[in-house]
Amino acid sequence: MFHSKIIGIGHFVPEKVVTNHDLEKLMDTSDEWIQERTGIKERRFYDPPEKGSTAIMAYKASLIALERAKLKAKDIDAIVFATLSPDYYFPGSGVLLQHMLEMDTKPAIDIRAQCSGFIYALSVADQFIKTGMYKRILVIGSETQNLALDLTTRGRGMGVLFGDGGGAAILEATDEEGKGILSTHLHSQGEFADVLCIREPGSNKIGKSVYENMHLNHDNIHPQMDGQLVFKNAIKRMPEVTMEALAANNLTTEDIDMFLPHQANLRISQMVQKFLRLPDEKVYNNIQKYGNTTAATLPILLSDLWEQGRIKEGQLFALAAFGSGFTWASTLIRF
């Protein structure tokens, strides 16, 4: 049976930097308040708005990943694209990326698992490679979230959290044992679907999914969250699913060389680190400069480390995520 190894990683973030001080001009908040509660100092917004921005960022990240893998787009057999902010209501952004990369009629699959999306996408790609169906797969996490945010005092609880960006990883089949993706572990709990969501437009209502003056229905068209419940579940589920992955591979936390937690809130990452008893040098966070980029978070983290020369052959990386759905997931990767 084949295994999947990552041979190229890349990321792209928009040029526009939005600091906490910039948000102070738009809402009743402060740099001190935001940093104390989230750890975020700044984030990137795709500006000016452009049609296809989620796919465009994925495209730019993909070109970097392809260059680092010494491949051309024609060498890729399929795309698995994770996002909660596709460019169209339908179709998904995967086919837009496929067209931008001029990949003939190669398949593109879209994943909607929010903050856990990249690990879900890795898992899908990994199964395709294990069965021998495809040899190389481009896995994407990309998000344009600023357009959905209410950047006023009314929406500050969510508005300060999110940023835009895209990340890409290329998986390739290998028969080398003990290398690449060792395992993936996926979970969901739909009873909490409305705890963190945007309700409209959607079909979960009586009447048309898009209706006149829909934009006036603030609570339904902007993201809503029960922050305390999300925090409580995140700090439970992320260590839990990480330990699940380690147990499945007869490993312990001491075997981890680098832990990458989803970047939702620095306090969450620090609590998860504490539960796993990992030293600071084994945990990497970049929420301070990018905010929560949802499905793009983990590939951006990986690409950051790749550019810093901090990914070495033989190292064991543990990735964990938790988000809307609820969904949560983990993976172990041996580089």
Whose structure tokens read 């049976």?
1
Sequence-distant (≥ 6) Cβ neighbours of residue 240 within 8 angstroms: none
For residue 172, which phi and psi values (nearest 5 degrees)? -135, 145
At 146, the amino acid letter reads N
Q: How far, in whole angstroms, is CA 174 from its chain's centroid? A: 25
Per the annotation, the verdict on 99 as an active-site residue is: no
Per the annotation, the verdict on 222 as an active-site residue is: no
Q: Is 12 helix (H, G, I), strand (E, B) or coil?
A: strand
Per the annotation, the verdict on 292 as an active-site residue is: yes
Please state whether the peptide bond connecting residue 259 to the residue before it is cis, i.e. omega within 30 degrees of 0.
Answer: no
Structure tokens at 221: 């068209």
For residue 106, which phi and psi values (nearest 5 degrees)? -65, 145
C-alpha–C-alpha distance, residues 249 and 246, integer Å: 5
SS3 content of the chain, % helix, strand, coil (to 5): 40, 25, 35
Catalytic residue among 3, 20, 115, 285: 115
Catalytic residue among 11, 262, 265, 285: 262
Report angle CA 191, 209, 49 to the nearest 5 degrees: 100
Whose structure tokens read 């928009």?
14
C-alpha–C-alpha distance, residues 173 and 131, integer Å: 10
Question: Burial letters for 194-231: b for 16+ Cβ neighbours within 10 Å, e otherwise?
Answer: ebbbbebeeeeeeeeeeeeeeeeeeebbbbbeeeeebb
Structure tokens at 254: 């001491």
Catalytic residue among 20, 146, 233, 292: 292
Q: How many C-beta atoms surround the C-beta of residue 170 within 10 A?
A: 23
**DSSP code at position 70:** T
Q: Which residues are catalytic?
A: 115, 262, 292
